[in-house]
Chains A and B, each alone.
Chain A
Amino acid sequence: MDSNQTGQQQSTPRPVSAAERIQTVDIVRGVALLGILLMNIPGFGIDWRIFNTIISGSHNTTDYKTLAVIETFFSGTMRGLFSMLFGAGMILFTLNKKETPGGTTVAEYYYRRLLWLVLFGVINAYVLLWTGDILFFYGLCGMLLYPFRKTKPKWLLMLGILCFAIGMLKTMLWYSDTRQSRKEYHAAVKAKEEKKELTEEQQGALAKWQNMEARQKPDSAEINRHVGKMHSGYATIFNYFIPRNSGSETWGTYHGIWDMISMMFIGMALLGWGFLSNKVSGSTYLMGLLIGYGIGIPLGWIIFDKGWAGSYNWGAYVDAYRAPHWLIYDFRRLFLCLGHASLILLIFRSRIVPWLMKGLANVGQMAFTNYLMQSIICTLFFYGYGLGNYNKLQFHQLYYVVGSVWVFQLIFSSIWLRYYRFGPFEWLWRSLTYWKKQPMRKNNGNGV
């Protein structure tokens, strides 16, 4: 049975030590981790119908500009980078470990780790009450990656694009359904205008579309009820969120999986090519920056301006376009992610802000802790059982909170890692995965 094992495979599986970590991967992860709060903060702090208000109002407000910037440059990209690094992390985790003859296999450790992650996700959603949790989905998606860990980067990229295509197909199926309803609605309206008696089907079509439009209109009673709930105690919000969480975990897993797994495949490919580990030339990163931003930013603006903002007049939008703008959302995301990653690596290589890079690497190394901490900090800041600031800030003011959390996490991570080998939740996660208390303090470790 030793025929397939090389001589080195004698050491036991164990967590990746500090020396083996790839700094640029940590830095990009740190940026993604901080950046993800840009997208999550409205979910924590404000009723989502604010978007309707901002977009249908004047375009000269700070709120509108903030939203435009966020949507054009960042929407979906931080999640995208995070997914990419998750995919890359999977390879690093499995390939850095050697099999112990007769012992638990690396695959089992990997799957244990993910099953714990799923559980952490459930806790983050149901207990810490963050309805936008992604850990749950990452845990599940990660389980599908293992057989691809040795696949060639080229094929991984193809797989990623295939997943994009599946997502696009789903979007298109849904959109053409909508267009069909709209067509039937028009026919019914026309029949009504001609004073014809409506058939049962026509009446149904009329009601269906009107219901859909009605659901999109902000209902102030509904908003007040929601905000009231968010200002209540823990038990109320806990109960209030149960159906939301189960709904989003159900449909997110079944329909949203393509969004994440596509980027994970591409991240695995990028690691394979050495892109994330700073192994390609500077000109490649420059190209990545130019192409990524050159294509991603204009697409981002169009999808925001024409697609997102345009579709607030839903009927007219459906009449006007055969396909929705956000059909190409994933490609926009991919290009912007490429741009962001290139920019970060270029800054890293130019060594202009080494202290910031070190800080970001620390944040990235403790990404799991920091992600959960964002939930803890933000729920305590906004929800009723904490400081109760829900829906009290203006949209752009939310980003002051983001800034403060960033500063806190940069400092906290740097201080923590001065004394400890892992972030607190990383330590817990590792200990659970290996079913053994892991060394935590730096000085009792392997002399790092």
Chain B
Amino acid sequence: MYLKGLSDSVAKTNTIMTPTHSETPATAIPSSTPALPLPNSRLVSLDVLRGVAVLGALFISVWIFGGFSNNQQNGLLLKSKGYDYRLFGTVDLLLNGKMRALISLVFGAGMVIYFFSHVKKDQSKAGDYFTRRYMWLMLLGLVNALVFLWTGDMLFHLGVMGILLFPFVRMSKKGLLIAALVTTLIYCGKFYWDFADDRKKYNKFLLVQAAEKKITEKAKKDSIDNIGRKDTSARVMKDSLGKDLKKDSLAVKKDTLTKEQKRDKGAWEGIVNQMKFDPKKDEGERKSVRKNSYGRLWNHFLPTLQSKEAQWTYQKGIWDFASMILLGMALFKMGFFSPGFSRRNYWLLALAGISLGLLLGWFRLHYNQITLQDYGKYIERHWVPYNFFFPLERAFTALGYAGFILVIIGSNALNRFWRGLAAAGQMALTNYLLQSIICTLVFTGFGLGNYGRFSQTLLYLTVLEISLVLVVFSVLWLRHYRYGPAEWLWRCLIYRRWLPNKLDAGGEASATATVIS
């Protein structure tokens, strides 16, 4: 079969970077490869995973879309009881970061598939298609961020990663696994590094605090002394007048904090303030997001967008995505997605991954609470930040989910439920963009202006509803068209020509629902 041939060829070509490869072609290539546009027969396992991840991601994204702010989350964590807390904790444990991880995993596999299927067609153009594909994705991400106003856009980052990790597509399984491990550890290290920075700030703050205490004590003492002097003997005053004056003039300088000390103090206080729960904190943001002119919203979101695309990417994003993408490449080459592992292995992975992930997640939430209660104390007592193992947590959970889903859909032909998800996954790009459009319209002032008005429950219900609409839309769309509208546009841009999208009523239609088990 075409797909089987593909993964075999990948397995055989993945010798590590050798400049002078043997002249023999990598594999026996199936001779009947179709001309562009590319394969209709898709890896359904990847589609299902992608569908789950894209829809699941909205449960977390909606926090930002809908105005369930960090501040409120901190409030719930501090309260640590009640329905809202449990709901938040559950969603956070099950989905936060895990869906992004799952998307990256599938994305990595997709990179390998895409590149090598093009290499087989025309080696000299594979690089062009590949790089164009991800550069257009970057641009689509910019549109999603700058036009649809989604500050949490991830397409831009995925596009960047596609380009950045291009040199890894040919790496061996082992090399990729090592690379994934190293990037995961660097990601953990990044959290640690932030924590170490905070620790430094805290220590400086303590020094300033001590200095401040001395100053106030001295001031107190001075005033008592002065009273004493006045009350008792003029002799003391006379004797030490000259001396004291001198001393005082020196002391005056020390009586206030230096500029640097003030800065050090402010730095720590800023951190603490940021973490502090304050019900009034979100008011400004709510007012701004509910503003009804598009231009104002745009101006309001721009700084957030830019810092997400620049700072977050540089500091965390690269490692967040790279680790999972590399793992996805490795898993693909190991046959994880197709032809698949044994059922036993999938079950083991699901069980181990999810339970380990949840355990780590539970610890994360627990230590997050302690951090919020008193960060200074936390720093004194702990060596690593509460989120130190987050990169592992979400990797384990995402792997567990992948294993679980693969074993379920592998057991028999897809039922309606999974077929719906597969359709949503096949149109993941379209659905992802639609999510932004719908949510912007539901929540910002440009649309219905519900930002900050929905309870958590209502937010998740909204997400469910949106997901249902998207699934139905995807299924219906794919009955008539080969690709989702955004996917189709993307492909036209990559191949620089108008590609047919309509399906003929007969043979072609079945291709979209092909099951590969």
Residues of A within 8 A of B (CB): 1, 4-5, 9-10, 12-14, 99-112, 115, 143-144, 146-147, 221, 246, 249-251, 253-255, 434-436
- Distance (Å) between the CB of B489 and the closest chain A CB? 17
Residues of B within 8 A of A (CB): 13, 16-26, 29, 119-128, 130-132, 135, 163-164, 166-167, 169-170, 259, 306, 309-311, 314-315
- Distance (Å) between the CB of B197 and the closest chain A CB? 9
Known A12-B21, A102-B24, A105-B126; 16 more pairs at CB < 8 Å: A5-B123, A10-B23, A12-B20, A13-B19, A14-B20, A103-B21, A103-B22, A105-B123, A108-B166, A108-B170, A111-B127, A146-B128, A147-B135, A251-B310, A254-B309, A255-B310
Q: With A104-B17, A104-B18 known to touch, is A1 a contact of B120 (CB < 8 Å)?
A: yes
- Distance (Å) between the CB of A394 and the closest chain B CB? 29
In whole angstroms, how far apart are the Cα atoms of A251 and B315 in the complex?
12
Q: With A100-B23, A250-B310 known to touch, is A146 a contact of B127 (CB < 8 Å)?
A: yes
In whole angstroms, how far apart are the Cα atoms of A109 and B19 in the complex?
8
User: Which one of B22, B125, B164 contacts A4 once the chains associate, using CB atoms below 8 Å?
Assistant: B125
In whole angstroms, how far apart are the Cα atoms of A253 and B157 in the complex?
14
In whole angstroms, how far apart are the Cα atoms of A143 and B161 in the complex?
11
Using Cβ atoms and an 8 Å threshold, which residues of chain B touch A435?
Answer: 16-19
* Contact in complex: A143, B128 (CB < 8 Å): no
In whole angstroms, how far apart are the Cα atoms of A246 and B315 in the complex?
8
Using Cβ atoms and an 8 Å threshold, which residues of chain B touch A436?
Answer: 18-20
* Contact in complex: A4, B132 (CB < 8 Å): no
Using Cβ atoms and an 8 Å threshold, which residues of chain B touch A4?
Answer: 122-125
* Contact in complex: B123, A99 (CB < 8 Å): yes
Using Cβ atoms and an 8 Å threshold, which residues of chain A touch B170?
Answer: 104, 108
Using Cβ atoms and an 8 Å threshold, which residues of chain B touch A103?
Answer: 20-22
* Contact in complex: A107, B17 (CB < 8 Å): no
- Distance (Å) between the CB of A5 and the closest chain B CB? 7
- Distance (Å) between the CB of A368 and the closest chain B CB? 18
Using Cβ atoms and an 8 Å threshold, which residues of chain A touch B315?
Answer: 246, 250
In whole angstroms, how far apart are the Cα atoms of A431 and B370 in the complex?
50
Using Cβ atoms and an 8 Å threshold, which residues of chain A touch B16?
Answer: 435
- Distance (Å) between the CB of A189 and the closest chain B CB? 25
For B309, the closest partner residue in chain A by CB is A254
In whole angstroms, how far apart are the Cα atoms of A146 and B13 in the complex?
23
Using Cβ atoms and an 8 Å threshold, which residues of chain A touch B21?
Answer: 12, 100, 102-104
User: Which one of B19, B23, B124, B164 contacts A5 once the chains associate, using CB atoms below 8 Å?
Assistant: B124
In whole angstroms, how far apart are the Cα atoms of A249 and B167 in the complex?
21
In whole angstroms, how far apart are the Cα atoms of A446 and B91 in the complex?
64
30 pairs, CB–CB < 8 Å, chain A vs chain B: A1-B25, A1-B29, A1-B122, A5-B124, A10-B23, A99-B123, A99-B124, A101-B25, A102-B21, A103-B21, A104-B21, A105-B119, A107-B127, A107-B128, A108-B127, A108-B166, A108-B169, A109-B19, A111-B167, A143-B164, A144-B135, A146-B128, A147-B128, A250-B310, A250-B311, A251-B310, A253-B310, A253-B314, A434-B17, A435-B17
For B21, the closest partner residue in chain A by CB is A103
For A11, the closest partner residue in chain B by CB is B20
- Distance (Å) between the CB of B119 and the closest chain A CB? 7
Residue among A99, A109, A436 having the largest count of chain B Cβ atoms under 10 Å: A99
Using Cβ atoms and an 8 Å threshold, which residues of chain B touch A100?
Answer: 20-21, 23
For A6, the closest partner residue in chain B by CB is B124
Q: How many A-B residue pairs have CB under 8 A?
A: 111
In whole angstroms, how far apart are the Cα atoms of A115 and B164 in the complex?
7
Using Cβ atoms and an 8 Å threshold, which residues of chain A touch B166?
Answer: 107-108, 111, 143
Using Cβ atoms and an 8 Å threshold, which residues of chain B touch A99?
Answer: 123-124
* Contact in complex: A107, B126 (CB < 8 Å): yes
For A438, the closest partner residue in chain B by CB is B19
Using Cβ atoms and an 8 Å threshold, which residues of chain A touch B126?
Answer: 105, 107
Using Cβ atoms and an 8 Å threshold, which residues of chain A touch B167?
Answer: 108, 111-112, 115
In whole angstroms, how far apart are the Cα atoms of A48 and B167 in the complex?
39
In whole angstroms, how far apart are the Cα atoms of A333 and B19 in the complex?
39
For A431, the closest partner residue in chain B by CB is B19
* Contact in complex: A250, B314 (CB < 8 Å): yes
Using Cβ atoms and an 8 Å threshold, which residues of chain A touch B127?
Answer: 105-108, 110-111, 146
For A150, the closest partner residue in chain B by CB is B128
- Distance (Å) between the CB of A175 and the closest chain B CB? 16
Using Cβ atoms and an 8 Å threshold, which residues of chain A touch B18?
Answer: 104, 435-436
- Distance (Å) between the CB of A58 and the closest chain B CB? 31
Using Cβ atoms and an 8 Å threshold, which residues of chain B touch A102?
Answer: 13, 21-26, 123
- Distance (Å) between the CB of A223 and the closest chain B CB? 13
For B20, the closest partner residue in chain A by CB is A12
Using Cβ atoms and an 8 Å threshold, which residues of chain A touch B13?
Answer: 102
Using Cβ atoms and an 8 Å threshold, which residues of chain B touch A143?
Answer: 131, 163-164, 166
In whole angstroms, how far apart are the Cα atoms of A251 and B314 in the complex?
9
In whole angstroms, how far apart are the Cα atoms of A108 and B111 in the complex?
13
For B19, the closest partner residue in chain A by CB is A434
Residue among B122, B131, B135 having the largest count of chain A Cβ atoms under 10 Å: B131
- Distance (Å) between the CB of A167 and the closest chain B CB? 15
* Contact in complex: A249, B314 (CB < 8 Å): yes
- Distance (Å) between the CB of B30 and the closest chain A CB? 11
For A103, the closest partner residue in chain B by CB is B21
In whole angstroms, how far apart are the Cα atoms of A72 and B223 in the complex?
62
For A9, the closest partner residue in chain B by CB is B124
In whole angstroms, how far apart are the Cα atoms of A436 and B16 in the complex?
11
- Distance (Å) between the CB of A265 and the closest chain B CB? 14
In whole angstroms, how far apart are the Cα atoms of A390 and B170 in the complex?
46
Q: With A101-B123, A147-B135, A254-B306 known to touch, is A112 a contact of B128 (CB < 8 Å)?
A: no
* Contact in complex: B131, A104 (CB < 8 Å): no
In whole angstroms, how far apart are the Cα atoms of A112 and B120 in the complex?
20
Residue among A10, A13, A102 having the largest count of chain B Cβ atoms under 10 Å: A102
In whole angstroms, how far apart are the Cα atoms of A107 and B123 in the complex?
10
Using Cβ atoms and an 8 Å threshold, which residues of chain B touch A144?
Answer: 135, 163
For B312, the closest partner residue in chain A by CB is A250
- Distance (Å) between the CB of B186 and the closest chain A CB? 12
* Contact in complex: A146, B20 (CB < 8 Å): no
* Contact in complex: A254, B124 (CB < 8 Å): no
For A113, the closest partner residue in chain B by CB is B167
Using Cβ atoms and an 8 Å threshold, which residues of chain B touch A112?
Answer: 17, 167
Using Cβ atoms and an 8 Å threshold, which residues of chain B touch A115?
Answer: 164, 167
User: Which one of B121, B123, B132 contacts A147 once the chains associate, using CB atoms below 8 Å?
Assistant: B132
Rank and list the top 8 A-B pairs by shortest CB-CB distance, nearest first. Answer: A107-B127, A103-B21, A434-B19, A254-B310, A435-B17, A102-B25, A112-B167, A250-B314
Using Cβ atoms and an 8 Å threshold, which residues of chain B touch A255?
Answer: 310
- Distance (Å) between the CB of A122 and the closest chain B CB? 11
For B122, the closest partner residue in chain A by CB is A4
- Distance (Å) between the CB of B8 and the closest chain A CB? 14
Using Cβ atoms and an 8 Å threshold, which residues of chain A touch B128?
Answer: 107, 146-147
Using Cβ atoms and an 8 Å threshold, which residues of chain B touch A10?
Answer: 23
User: Which one of A12, A105, A246 contacts B124 once the chains associate, using CB atoms below 8 Å?
Assistant: A105
In whole angstroms, how far apart are the Cα atoms of A255 and B122 in the complex?
36
* Contact in complex: A12, B19 (CB < 8 Å): yes
